[in-house]
Structure 1
Amino acid sequence: MRKLAALSVAALVAGLLSTGPSRADDPPGRSPGTGTPSASSSAPAARVSPDEAQVARAPLPRLDWKTCSFAGDIPKERRARVRCATPRVPLDYDDPRGATTRLAVVKVAAARPGRRIGSLFVNPGGPGGSSAGFAVDAGSVLGKDVDARFDVIGIDPRGVGGSGRTTCRGTIRVPGDFFGFPVGSRQVQQQVRSDDSIRRACRQQSSDLLDHASTADVARDMELVRRALREPRLSYYGISYGSHLGTTYAAMFPDNIRALVVDGVLDPVAWSTGGRGKKVQHPFSYRIGSGKGAYEALTAAWTECDRVGPTRCELAPASLAKWQAVVRAARQGRLTLDGEPWVYQDVVGFGLGALYDPVGPRYFAQFVAGLYAELTAAARGTRGRRVDVARVSSFRVLADLRRDLDERGPYAAPALSSTSVPSTAPAARPSTVDVLFQAVTCSDGRNPQSPGAWERSAKLADRVQPWFGRSWTWASSLCAKGGVGDGSDSFRGPWRTSTSYPLLVVGNSHDPATPVRGARKVNSLFRDSVFTQYDAWGHGALGGGACISRTMADYLVHRTLPPDGRVCPPARPLYRR
Structure 2
Amino acid sequence: MPHLTRDLMRHLTRPTPQPSEQPSEEPSGQPSGERPDAGRPLRKRASGGASRQGMALLRIPATVIAATGLLLTACTSGSGGHPASASSPMSGGSSAASSSTASTAGLASYYGQKLKWHSCGAAGFDCTSMKVPLDYAHPGAHDDLTLAVARKKATGPGARIGSLLVNPGGPGGSAIDYLQYAALGYPTPVTSRYDMVAVDPRGVARSAPVECLTDKQMDTYTAVDTTPDDSAEVTTLASADKGFAAGCEKRSAKLLDHVSTVDSARDMDILRGLLGDRQLHYVGKSYGTFLGATYAGLFPQRVGRLVLDGAMDPSVDALESSRAQAGGFEVAFNAFAADCLQEPSCPLGTTSVTDAGKRLDALFKNLDAHPLSTGTSRKLTEALGTTGVIAAMYDQSAWPTLRTALASAMKGDGDPLLKLSDSYYERDDTGKYSNLMYANAAVNCLDLPPALRSPADVEKALPSFRKASPHFGTTLAWSSLVCGYWPVKATGHAAKITAPGAGPILVVGTIRDPATPYAWAKSLAAQLSSGHLLTYDGDGHTAYARGSDCIDTSVNAYLLDGKVPPTGKTCT
TM-score, normalised by the number of residues in structure 1: 0.72
Structure 1 CA distance for aligned equivalents of residues 162 and 242 of structure 2 = 47
Letter in 2 for 1:269: S
Letter in 2 for 1:145: P
Q: Which residue of 2 aligns with 1:575?
A: none
Does the 8 Å contact 1:59/1:97 carry over to 2? no
Aligned match of 1:504 in 503, 506, 518? 506
1:180-329 matched pairs, under 5 angstroms: 181-184=226-229, 185-200=231-246, 206-270=252-316, 274=317, 283=319, 286-287=322-323, 289-303=324-338, 315-329=349-363
Identity of aligned residues (%): 27
Q: CA deviation at 1:501?
A: 1.5
Q: CA deviation at 1:472?
A: 2.8
Letter in 1 for 2:102: D
1:158-197 matched pairs, under 5 angstroms: 158-167=202-211, 178-179=223-224, 181-184=226-229, 185-197=231-243
RMSD over aligned Cα atoms: 3.9
Q: Which residue of 1 aligns with 2:538?
A: 536
Quickly say closer, same or farther: Cα 1:401–1:562, change in 2 above 3 A: farther
| Residue aligned with 1:179, SS | coil
2:540 is the counterpart of 1:557:
no
| Residue aligned with 1:167, SS | coil
| Residue aligned with 2:396, SS | coil
2:493 is the counterpart of 1:457:
no
Q: Which residue of 1 aligns with 2:7?
A: none
1:18-57 matched pairs, under 5 angstroms: 49-54=100-105
| Residue aligned with 1:93, SS | coil
Structure 1 CA distance for aligned equivalents of residues 212 and 425 of structure 2 = 23
Quickly say closer, same or farther: Cα 1:491–1:90, change in 2 above 3 A: farther
2:373 is the counterpart of 1:337:
yes
Letter in 2 for 1:102: T
Does the 8 Å contact 1:336/1:389 carry over to 2? yes
Structure 2 CA distance for aligned equivalents of residues 534 and 177 of structure 1 = 33
Structure 2 CA distance for aligned equivalents of residues 358 and 177 of structure 1 = 24
Q: CA deviation at 1:148?
A: 0.3
Letter in 2 for 1:59: Y
Aligned match of 2:110 in 59, 74, 81? 59
1:347-358 matched pairs, under 5 angstroms: 347-358=385-396
Q: CA deviation at 1:292?
A: 0.7
Quickly say closer, same or farther: Cα 1:12–1:120, change in 2 above 3 A: closer
2:125 is the counterpart of 1:89:
no
Q: CA deviation at 1:136?
A: 2.6
1:125-140 matched pairs, under 5 angstroms: 125-140=169-184
Per-residue deviation, residues 54-112 of structure 1 (Å, max 9, x unmatched): 5855631524333355x2xxxx4x32xx1111111111111123321110011111112
Letter in 1 for 2:325: S
Quickly say closer, same or farther: Cα 1:135–1:326, change in 2 above 3 A: closer
Q: CA deviation at 1:404?
A: 5.6
Q: CA deviation at 1:450?
A: 2.9
Number of paired residues? 473
Per-residue deviation, residues 236-293 of structure 1 (Å, max 9, x unmatched): 00111111111111122122111101111112112xxx2xxxxxxx646525x11110
Q: CA deviation at 1:361?
A: 3.0
Structure 1 CA distance for aligned equivalents of residues 339 and 332 of structure 2 = 11
Structure 1, unmatched stretches of 5+, are 14-46, 275-281, 376-386, 410-416, 420-431, 570-577
| Residue aligned with 1:388, SS | coil
Structure 2 CA distance for aligned equivalents of residues 237 and 202 of structure 1 = 30
Letter in 1 for 2:481: S
Aligned match of 2:477 in 473, 483, 488? 473
2:412 is the counterpart of 1:388:
yes
Structure 2 CA distance for aligned equivalents of residues 177 and 313 of structure 1 = 25
Does the 8 Å contact 1:315/1:366 carry over to 2? no
Structure 1 CA distance for aligned equivalents of residues 180 and 402 of structure 2 = 30
Quickly say closer, same or farther: Cα 1:474–1:12, change in 2 above 3 A: farther
Structure 2 CA distance for aligned equivalents of residues 103 and 335 of structure 1 = 41
1:431-446 matched pairs, under 5 angstroms: 435-446=438-449
Letter in 1 for 2:177: G
Q: CA deviation at 1:152?
A: 1.1
Q: CA deviation at 1:153?
A: 1.2
Q: Which residue of 2 aligns with 1:359?
A: 397
Structure 1 CA distance for aligned equivalents of residues 41 and 358 of structure 2 = 32
Q: Which residue of 2 aligns with 1:519?
A: 521
Quickly say closer, same or farther: Cα 1:173–1:11, change in 2 above 3 A: same
| Residue aligned with 1:446, SS | coil
Per-residue deviation, residues 484-510 of structure 1 (Å, max 9, x unmatched): 34544x475441343421211111121
Aligned match of 1:124 in 139, 163, 168? 168
Choose 1 or 2 for highest CA Rg: 1
Structure 2 CA distance for aligned equivalents of residues 400 and 176 of structure 1 = 16
Q: CA deviation at 1:541?
A: 1.1
Quickly say closer, same or farther: Cα 1:50–1:497, change in 2 above 3 A: closer
| Residue aligned with 2:393, SS | helix
Q: CA deviation at 1:176?
A: 8.9
